[in-house]
Amino acid sequence: MHYRQVFFIRAHLFPEFISDTIDTIRYYSTTDSLIVVTVDRNKDIERVLKPLYPSVKFFTSSSNCGWGGGLWLLFCEALCWLTRTENVSFDYLWNVDYDWIAIAPAFDSYFTKKFSEDKNIGQIGRHSPNSAYWTRRVKQRLRSIKGQFAAHGKPFPRNYKPGEHVAGACSVFKGSCASQMLSMGLLDRPFRDFGLMYKIADDPMLSMMTNAAGYRFCEMGEKAYIKWRLDEDYKKLQSRGFLCFHPTKLTPGNTSYSAEKEMVCRNYFRELRGQSPIV
């Protein structure tokens, strides 16, 4: 079955918060998208949420993915399952963390317009052109990575810049880019194990494989507030024109995490949508 858009929501815990992220997509999206919750081993997520969202698909990995490089493994497993087992195709694939939410109408059509600017764009997100940490980490492992590509008959992308990437918390893939990664075997072993093998997070891995598939990645635009830590009052984001944001799990001032604080943040936006609060 073909969909205009598919959303992967990457999750480990907190079904009540995953539910809220699903609600934001449904409320603000311009199309009836397929939503897939991709979960690391926790079968309780599907057990709790499936009765509430019968049209949502759930992929629960049997691998111990965890965070960081394991999220690249989870992406590979989920996309192979979706396309090869569930026979789903799509124009665009959103890959978002559970603590990402949409906060304004037509967020999806606004960002996917970016792909029309250049047919070679395969992935958009919050662009990081020269992360010192990931540049150093990838360079230390680059010779071995290139050797793996060569050993399996895959050309390593000449235009790849070590460490350059877009943030894994929210990125969008063009369907043809995802299809090319699949057909080239870049989501199969040994490539799907690179994140854990080389201790490289999903962010650089996703962008590296976008390049390997013959596409480029770029900034998704100023209307996306995508950061590792929230550094301002989330109540001001809508008025400043942002259409989506990450993360809901950290509050202004970068105070320590608590589920209660995340619930307060999410309930603020639920009230704006006229939806009942999480309790």
Q: How confident is the model at residue 228, as a pLDDT? A: 85
Query: What is residue 55's predicted lDDT score, i.e. its pLDDT?
Result: 98
Cα distances from 175 to residues 21, 71, 128, 217, 233, in angstroms, run 22, 20, 23, 14, 35
The residue to which tokens 């080389």 are assigned? 198
Share of the chain above pLDDT 90, in %: 89
The pLDDT tens digits of the residues spanning 189-201 come to 999 999 999 999 9
For 149-154, what is the mean pLDDT?
97
Query: What pLDDT band is residue 251 in, cutting at 50, 70 and 90?
Result: low
Cα–Cα distance between 40 and 157 in angstroms, integer? Answer: 30
For the segment 198-216, the average pLDDT, to the nearest whole number, is 97
**Region at 166 (left for phi over 0; alpha for psi -120 to 50; beta for the rest):** beta
Quick one: average pLDDT of 59-79? 95
| Token pair recorded at residue 125 | 């997100």
CA distance 162 to 180: 21
Strand 34-40 relative to strand 57-61, pairing: parallel
Answer yes or no: is pLDDT of 252 > 60. no
Tokens 């608590």 identify what position? 258
State yes or no: pLDDT of 113 exceeds 90. yes
- Is 256's pLDDT higher than 90? no
Q: Which pLDDT belongs to residue 172?
A: 98
Average pLDDT over residues 171-200: 98
Mean pLDDT calculated for residue range 227-254: 86
- Looking at every residue in the chain, the average pLDDT score rounds to 95
Tell me what pLDDT residue 250 has: 67
Range 59-74 average pLDDT: 94
Q: Are 3 and 89 in contact (CB under 8 A)?
A: yes
pLDDT given for residue 242 in this prediction: 98
Percent of the chain with pLDDT over 70: 98
* Residue 32 banded pLDDT, cuts 50, 70, 90: confident
Say yes or no to pLDDT of 268 above 70.
Answer: yes
Sign of the C-alpha dihedral computed for residues 278, 239, 172 and 86 taken in this order = positive
Pairing of strands 244-246, 224-226: parallel
The strand pairing partners of 102, in sequence order, are: 244
Average pLDDT over residues 65-78: 95
Higher pLDDT, 249 or 88: 88
Let me know: does 239 contact 233? Beta carbons within 8 Å: no
Q: What value does the mean pLDDT take over residues 144-166?
A: 95
